[in-house]
Amino acid sequence: QGTLTVGELADKLNKDSSEIIKKLLFLGVMATKNQDLDDDAIELICSEYDVKVEKEIILEDTDFNKYIAEEKEENLIERPAVVTIMGHVDHGKTTLLDAIRESKVTAGEAGGITQHIGAYQIEVDDKKITFLDTPGHEAFTSMRSRGAQVTDLSILVVAADDGVMPQTVEALNHAKAAGVPIIVAVNKMDKDTANPDRVMQELTEYELIPEDWGGDTIFVQLSALQNKGIDELLEMILLIAEMQELKANPKAQAFGTVIEAELDKGRGPVATLLVQNGTLHISDSIVVGNTNGRVRAMLNDIGKRVKTAGPSTPVEITGLNEVPQAGDQFLVFEDEKKARQIGEARHQQAVLATRSEHTKVSLDDLFEHI
C-alpha cells in the first residue's frame, strides 16, 4: 500500500513532479503524479537525492487499540489473578514457585507433573490463580517497555536472614510504578538467623508498612523450602484478587501478551501466550507482535492439548510465521485476510524501524505528517 504519491514526494523533496517521474522512469517505473509510491520506490528516489529516510508509518489499522472494544459490564465474568514473584537473587523465588505448584497439584495430575511453559495455574478454594515464571523484574521491564501490563499482583520475596537488598528495591519500584499491589513474602523463616522484624523495618522506608504497624501491606512469613506458610500466602492472594474485582469477557476475540517465545526445531515458532481477554481457539487467525499466523496446536501449562484458552490462562501455541518477542501483544481477528494484512503491515513497520535505526540518519520533517 502506498504511503505517498509522486506529487507529495516531489513536494517533500522540493522538486518538480516531472523530475521525479523521469527518475522513476529511469529506474524502470512508469508513474503519474497522483500515483501512490511503495516504500521501496520512495527509498530509491530519496537515495537518488542523497536523502536518508527515517520513516514512521503510522498505519491506524495496525493499532490493536482500534479493535479492542470496551466490554459491557453484562459480558464480564470474574477471571483469575495473574501473579508474578519478584525479589533479590537467592531469596527463594524459584523455590517458592515450585512449592506453590506442588502444594496444589490435583489428584489426577499427581506424580510426575512437569511444567511445560513459563506460567502455571493452580486452584485454591475453587478459585484459580495464574503464576508467571518470568522473574518479576523482567516481566515488568520487557513487557512494560512494550506497553503491556499483565500482572495483577506481585509477591515480593525477601529472605528473612538477608533483608532488603538492591534487587528488592528495584523490584518493588517496578511494581509501584505499574500500580500493582504487593504482598511481602518473608522467606527462609526456618533459618536461625531469620529476622522478620528487620525486614519489616527496612521496608517501611519504601512505604510497605505492615497492618500491625498501621500500614496496609500484607506480610506473610514462610519457608518455601519447608513448605510452611504457603497456604496463608495463597489465601492472601485470593483476598487481594477479590478486592481487585478482576474481570474479562470470555466471548470476545482473544487478546493478550506473549510471555515467552522461541524457535523449536520441529514445531517452528512456539509462543507462550497469556490470554487477557476473550477466548483463544484452535485455528484462530492471530496477529502476534509483528508476525501473524493461525493457531495450529495449543498446550496448557502441564503440556496437555487443549482446544480453547479463556481469560488469564497461559497456553503454548504453534502456527506463527515468525518468533515474536516476550511482551508483544496478540489479537485474534475473525477475518483471516485481515489478520494477514495487519500482520504484514506490522512486520513491514518493524523492518523499516530497524533499518532507519541502522542508518542513524534522520531527516526531521520529511515524513513527519504521514
Q: In whole angstroms, give the CA distance from residue 351 to residue 342.
A: 14
How far apart are CB 317 and Mg ion at their closest, in Å?
26
Q: In whole angstroms, give the CA distance from residue 84 to residue 155.
A: 6
35 versus 94: smaller Cβ distance to Mg ion: 94
Residue 135, marked binder = yes
How far apart are CB 290 and ligand GDP at their closest, in Å?
32
Residue 89, marked binder = yes
Residues in the chain: 370
Residue tagged 494477514 (cell numbers): 340
How far apart are CB 162 and ligand GDP at their closest, in Å?
10
94 versus 201: smaller Cβ distance to ligand GDP: 94
Residue 106, marked binder = no
How far apart are CB 166 and Mg ion at their closest, in Å?
16
How far apart are CB 237 and ligand GDP at their closest, in Å?
18
Q: Which does 36 bind (CB under 5 to 8 A by kind): ligand GDP, Mg ion, none?
A: none
3-state secondary structure of 155: strand
Could you tell me which residues are beta bridge partners of residue 219? 184
167 versus 356: smaller Cβ distance to Mg ion: 167
Residue 94, marked binder = yes
Binding mask 79-98 for Mg ion (x = CB under 5 A): --------------xx----
Q: In whole angstroms, give the CA distance from residue 271 to residue 106.
A: 26
Q: In whole angstroms, give the CA distance from residue 44 to residue 16.
A: 17
DSSP 8-state class, residue 5: E
Write the DSSP string, 201-266: HHHHTTT--BGGGT--BEEEE-BTTTTBSHHHHHHHHHHHHHHHT-EE-TTSBPEEEEEEEEEETT
127 versus 137: smaller Cβ distance to ligand GDP: 137
Backbone phi, psi, residue 43, to 5°: -65, -40
Site residues (CB under 6 A) for ligand GDP? 87, 89-95, 187-188, 190-191, 223-225
95 versus 142: smaller Cβ distance to ligand GDP: 95
Give the binding site for Mg ion (CB under 5 A): 93-94
Sequence ranges of the binding site for GTP: 87-94, 133-137, 187-190
Sequence ranges of the binding site: 87-94, 133-137, 187-190
